[in-house]
Structure 1
């Protein structure tokens, strides 16, 4: 249930993403959206020392090239900008790879096959939301990834998730879920929301993310004016969104969305415009840092508390994931010992 998603990040962030856990394996990562191409490092450790084996164990071998790639991905995700030393980044990436390999070694061929199918489905859904496969491929190229490499990474993460769920048995009952619901009532309060449709005429270059020139922005604004006239003349807003909107996913959801005042991911101008509308009203053209927006408001949803029946299934899943994450370090330590993992690079041992 989409409304329940707002609750999950606050509740599960620590469990799924805590340092030393493998929680980031459980998340299916969308392609990066960097506006600038990733800057390759001038010289990698592989360039200097060859593709040596940096860690090994029973059924496990990690080479320097694989570690370099993992470090590069962490760097692109912003780890270096947070001041993490390179040596620590190397050790963190190696720890991640060892844990991933240990889990993948426990997977069946059927589980791996199912994960590849699911990874492709997720990619297809992303492609539908973005409007074209080229849009996603362009984002992947900016991060130095091929489609095949991205799909392989996502399949591995899904396989690791499957192994965790199979191997770490947790039984969360309806009573457990209801107890959490009743003792954490504030977490289930939903703020006022609006259901809208949205058309975006972007003022950013689709390849680089750079701001368009004044002349090109003027062309986009003129197009927005024409679309606004047609919307106010009574044309089907969903069809206009399908035809003109450049927002990600517009062609899949016809520009429709639910938003709240609490949504920090949206521009202030965006929220101010939609919450000022009356039902069935079409907005003026709203300008933000990413382009020109036109909104139509369909429904205002008053603040309310989610009922237990609405959240029960997702709540049980969240509590199960949390309990599994609590046991995960112990399970991984067991696998580490059984595989007799050895780190061969002396610098990575320290």
Structure 2
């Protein structure tokens, strides 16, 4: 049977309309819109969610955000949503789509947090489940667009990785590294002279036992006032500049296996045992290649995305309401 060309075109148009329906859904009421990019709506509900996503990262330790700062965060949230909408509009033009099954699976995962469908619908509020689903579809479509237009274009060759290593070789040095254990006899800063003297005598007693050959792990475990007591005083690996000055100076005088004199710091008295020393050395290409590749891919991803968004901003109209 021969199908008329006109019928095929009508079907194609109808398919595109069905494809765009999830993207444009919930955009009927202009009161709900804060912006539009091409034909893609940005709703006040999406803005509220993005605002709340950013807010915890920007608030002070004691909570509370000034009115001016809230306005800055709102603008930041809207800028992110505009960028996302630009990607959605590009995806529409490329006739990309997200399978309903993928959207429904994401929605089901959210719905599972609620005891009943009624409770979930109540939580959706004025936006409604369908409105939220449409916003979710746009989010997933933007992710798919970025995957197609950016992620698949990120390609870093072995030659690029090696060239970066050779050019920045002096940055890939591992400093002199120590491994040590210690016993801390803590001295309260508010203690009096007699109390401090008692703590010093306690430290001297432990030092004497350590130098007499008593097991350092057990000495630390049963006597140290530091939380490292639970691992026998083991401080792990560290390098110069990572400890307080007096501790470091005492450490530099030791050879592996040796135990220091009492070392006084603001924390109290330390008894230090040097376990291991690894001299400064050049990190090899094989050791650094993975991290270098990750860094170069990140930079390339950011470069491609920035250039792409600049193109999209010139191509599509952005309306802020």
Q: TM-score, normalization: structure 1?
A: 0.46
Q: TM-score, normalization: structure 2?
A: 0.50
Higher relative contact order (CA 8 A, sep 6+): 1
